[in-house]
Structure 1
Amino acid sequence: MNTDLTRQDAVRDAAASGIPAALADLGTLVRIPSVAFPGFDAKEVQRSAEAVKALVDDLGLFDSVEIRRAGIPGTDEIGHPAVLATRAARNGRPTILLYAHHDVQPVGDEALWESSPFEPTVRDGRLYGRGAADDKAGVMAHVAALRALKEALGADFDLGVALFIEGEEEAGSRSFAQFLSENADALRADVIVVADSGNWDARTPALTVSLRGNTRFTLRVRTLEHASHSGMFGGAVPDAMMATVTLLATLWDEDGAVAVEGLTERDAETPAYDEATLRDEAGLPSGVSPIGRGSILSRIWNKPSITVTGIDAPSVANASNTLSPEVSVVISARVAPGQPAREAYAAIEAHLRARAPFGAELAFSDQDYGDAFLVDTSGAAVAQALEAMHEAYGVEPVEVGVGGSIPFIADLVREFPAAQILVTGVEDPHARAHSPNESLHLETFRNAVLAEALLLAKLDAESAGA
């Protein structure tokens, strides 16, 4: 009898049979509005952590399962609760660290949701709800894969496992680096799986091998000591909104490409990806043109982008004939792989200061930085992960870049330089993470659970030569 095939078949059967329970548990997690942003109820994040801990306790696999927090460097604040579980490796087996996060994005305009954001709803093969994809599905992919491994191999397998379910990723992972430092021994692993990315499409798995970095900051533009009547002084006095619009427009050229000197690009080939696919996946209407230059994926994976994600100014409902004295905006920039985030921020700040119109006063605050990530694909774990994906999905996996950022991966690389880091995920291009009507493609979830369970089984057999 072929031992490899026997183990694989047992894992496959266990993963498939566990999907209904995993989806039921995912629904329970989605019902908890665990938004870690300032101004939201922190008790819900705590409740979410407790629910995750209960799921991990029920596995009966770990030597220790705890809810832990860490301080936020430079402040007197404490980060949101994370779940940390550890199981020591035996008989020369490696240790794998499984990461996901249980906090979620705010809902935004609830009127744009077709069903209640915190009531999981199945429609057309997808589970809708905030966090259904990003990233409570990642949490449940880990839990379900471990359940399958236990059912197939028994609870006494030799693979070492650390499970780290963070509670503030969407809010910037402000205590992440401190958490790693304080818990380095518990988290140290040979292989790290970060289940917080996506796939090529609903049928084709992907291993993320590059991520753009990011920098985010608040810009305040001030032109007046106080508000003034727009009829009496308009035409002679620059208002802050006029100055802000004028200044922001300098960040892009006529094609919509970033026009900031000092921001770099990465030179790397990208797979074929046409405009029709972009329109379908991004929701770009036929009358609106894409922006930038070069191949579409090079614009998303290998070039910088700048987005204004928030603005404080008089609302339409409160508009009056007034010259605004100051306006604040939040600017989010994605940084090409290869450029440090702080260097990119410095270039953007210098650009804006040099172009402040009408002598407007600029102030910069709340800077955040996250460096880009490039995977070393030569490690054995990469080959094992790609093999497991192929076996689970029945389709050759794709190595992809991602336009988004996972800033804490730079912290993982710094703390655990010898570890092989695998960035995987359960999302497909229609998941709409961070947007209204976020959803999880159920078949993708089933395949993702199986792929991870198969990877765990491969790692458990690794040093035994099975």
Structure 2
Amino acid sequence: MTSTPHQEQVAHRVSDLMPSLIDALTSLVRIPSIATAGFPPEPLFEAHDAVVELLRQAGVEHVDDLHIEGKTAPVIVATVPGPADAPTVLLYSHYDVVPADDENLWTTPPFEPTLRDGALYGRGTADSKANIVSIIGALRYYRGTPPVTVKVILEGQEEFGSPFDVYPPEAPELFRSDAMVIADVGSVRPGAPTLTVALRGSASVIVSATTLAADKHSGLYGGAAPDARLALIRALATLHDDNGDVAVDGLRREPWTGVSYTDAEFRELAEILDGTPLQGSGAIGERIWSGPAITVTGFDAPTVDASVNAVAGSARAALNLRIHPEQDAATAQAALITHLEAQRPFGVRLDVSAGEVGNGFSAPIGGPAFDAATAALEQAWGSPPGMMAGGGSIPIVMALHEAVPQAEKLLFGATDGYANIHGPNERVLLDELEKAVIAKVVFFSEFAQRFKGDG
């Protein structure tokens, strides 16, 4: 039977690996591997080649590319065989990054990685190149002979919308495994090991009002001609009560019992202005994870600077609905549509159309991989892990679950809630990265033992 590495042995060995892992992360972050349309593709392929080389240096002999029609960069598929009777662990992350946006908001250039106060700053440090490096670190620790069979899946178009999001069910054998670690998340805060066990679903809706054949002069017609914008605004106001809680029947909301942010932490992370209250009631976790949210993401109207004195003959709004992890997204979308279609603001009928939907995810807990992960995170961080959820969807998680429903899904990683992913001055704490490497090392061993015991 595989023995669990001694705690001091793991910590010492990973500490020895950290200088080279930091160098590897620094080199990866220098590459502006942006898959978004309008950016050059060469850096994306440069990042691909760099990651492949890191895998080979870590003792991975079986490295292939998966090419999917319409995809900018290939998906890296690597396998490290374990013992004959060992379980298989699939590790997922991505090597593309979002654009840096306004570089004037960065303290240091986004693609010139900078060490500062125990953190590495740069675009992609946390999302998600540190997670790739944590996988490399765990493979280096075992020198190519881990106690489990390891499959590594690293894609290059996660941030932009990818055909890979729906590919796994088409080729389930490629993803066949006993446990999956989706390394595209992190802990609720630094020093607090966290497993993400649920993700909210998502649905989009377009709602419009048409009242006039054309806009009309507000002085001549305002007051009697029905203003489409006012009608639509009145209808949108019915989506929430006076506290700001969603007021649509049929949308699931429950208390959140895991770890969460404090109100003060959430205010800081959301950059809520002083004196501005939080929206809604109840605990933060319930509002952002186990309850619905409706956001107006678009509204057709002239800008204030370009406004004209006219009664609007038409108006349109785009809505994004976030859904309880265990509620069917199409059912939730239908509830929102029913609510809007029932409204008659100033007697005006609304047109409502359904957009894309994506179900949420809720991970079963208590299996051998879950128990191994909780033990590994506790050893790495020195305290029992908490359970949190994600307010945003990760489509690949749902696709992997559809492809291999029996595999346990575990979401943990090297980043934390203060990493400022997708924003200026993105960073990863090197101490968190080191702990993430330790957690994967220990998880491999713990899962190998618990899988045999469970069998």
The verdict on a shared fold, with TM-score over 0.5 as the criterion, is yes
The corresponding residue for 2:322 is 334
Structure 1 length-normalised TM: 0.85
Structure 2: runs of 5 or more not aligned = none
* Match for residue 93 of structure 1 among 86, 90, 97: 86
Q: Letter of the aligned partner of 1:249 in structure 2?
A: A
* Match for residue 157 of structure 2 among 159, 162, 168: 168
The corresponding residue for 1:417 is 405
Residues 100-132 of structure 1 deviation map (CA, whole Å, 9 limit, x = unaligned): 122333444444333333332333333333322
1:79, 1:174 within 8 Å by CA — same for their partners in 2?
Answer: no
- SS state of the match for residue 127, structure 2? coil
Distance between the aligned counterparts of 1:60 and 1:349, measured in 2? Answer: 53
- SS state of the match for residue 125, structure 2? coil
Q: Letter of the aligned partner of 2:142 in structure 1?
A: L
The corresponding residue for 1:11 is 10
Q: Letter of the aligned partner of 2:117 in structure 1?
A: D
**1:206 maps to 2:199:** no
The corresponding residue for 1:119 is 112
- SS state of the match for residue 251, structure 1? coil
Worse overlay, 186-195 or 239-248? 239-248
1:162, 1:186 within 8 Å by CA — same for their partners in 2?
Answer: no
The corresponding residue for 1:294 is 282
Distance between the aligned counterparts of 2:108 and 2:208, measured in 1? Answer: 37
- SS state of the match for residue 134, structure 1? helix
Distance 1:360 1:437, change over 3 A: farther
Distance 1:45 1:224, change over 3 A: farther
- How far apart are residue 176 of structure 1 and its match? 2.2
Q: Letter of the aligned partner of 2:135 in structure 1?
A: H
- SS state of the match for residue 296, structure 2? strand
The corresponding residue for 1:74 is none
Q: Letter of the aligned partner of 2:155 in structure 1?
A: E
Distance 1:118 1:405, change over 3 A: same
- How far apart are residue 400 of structure 1 and its match? 2.1
- How far apart are residue 180 of structure 1 and its match? 1.0
Structure 2 length-normalised TM: 0.87
Q: Letter of the aligned partner of 1:377 in structure 2?
A: I
2:95, 2:128 within 8 Å by CA — same for their partners in 1?
Answer: yes
Map 1:307-322; keep pairs closer than 5 Å.
Answer: 307-311=295-299, 313-316=301-304, 318-321=306-309
1:199, 1:425 within 8 Å by CA — same for their partners in 2?
Answer: yes
Distance between the aligned counterparts of 1:395 and 1:144, measured in 2? Answer: 22
**1:63 maps to 2:62:** yes
Distance 1:223 1:379, change over 3 A: same
1:97, 1:164 within 8 Å by CA — same for their partners in 2?
Answer: yes
1:204, 1:397 within 8 Å by CA — same for their partners in 2?
Answer: yes
* Match for residue 265 of structure 2 among 243, 261, 277: 277
Distance between the aligned counterparts of 2:94 and 2:357, measured in 1? Answer: 19
Number of aligned residues: 452
1:220, 1:328 within 8 Å by CA — same for their partners in 2?
Answer: yes
Q: Letter of the aligned partner of 1:452 in structure 2?
A: K
Map 1:39-438; keep pairs closer than 5 Å.
Answer: 39-66=38-65, 68-71=66-69, 77-78=70-71, 81-150=74-143, 155-177=144-166, 179-217=167-205, 219=207, 223=211, 225-226=213-214, 233-238=221-226, 241-271=229-259, 274-311=262-299, 313-316=301-304, 318-321=306-309, 329-355=317-343, 357=345, 359=348, 362=351, 364=353, 367-438=355-426
1:34, 1:103 within 8 Å by CA — same for their partners in 2?
Answer: yes
- How far apart are residue 41 of structure 1 and its match? 4.5
Q: Letter of the aligned partner of 2:119 in structure 1?
A: R
- How far apart are residue 308 of structure 1 and its match? 2.6
Distance 1:257 1:228, change over 3 A: same
Q: Letter of the aligned partner of 2:105 in structure 1?
A: L
Q: Letter of the aligned partner of 1:429 in structure 2?
A: G
Distance between the aligned counterparts of 1:362 and 1:53, measured in 2? Answer: 50
Residues 282-324 of structure 1 deviation map (CA, whole Å, 9 limit, x = unaligned): 3333301112222222222211111233455434554455566
1:188, 1:416 within 8 Å by CA — same for their partners in 2?
Answer: yes
Identical pairs, percent: 36
Distance between the aligned counterparts of 1:243 and 1:51, measured in 2? Answer: 55
1:61, 1:87 within 8 Å by CA — same for their partners in 2?
Answer: yes
Q: Letter of the aligned partner of 1:168 in structure 2?
A: Q
- How far apart are residue 184 of structure 1 and its match? 2.2
- How far apart are residue 214 of structure 1 and its match? 1.6
Distance 1:114 1:157, change over 3 A: closer
Distance between the aligned counterparts of 1:205 and 1:288, measured in 2? Answer: 31
Residues 365-424 of structure 1 deviation map (CA, whole Å, 9 limit, x = unaligned): 6x3322222221121111111111111111221122333322332222221122111111
2:341, 2:349 within 8 Å by CA — same for their partners in 1?
Answer: no
Worse overlay, 227-236 or 369-378? 227-236
- How far apart are residue 54 of structure 1 and its match? 2.9
- How far apart are residue 229 of structure 1 and its match? 5.0
Q: CA-atom RMSD, angstroms? A: 3.1
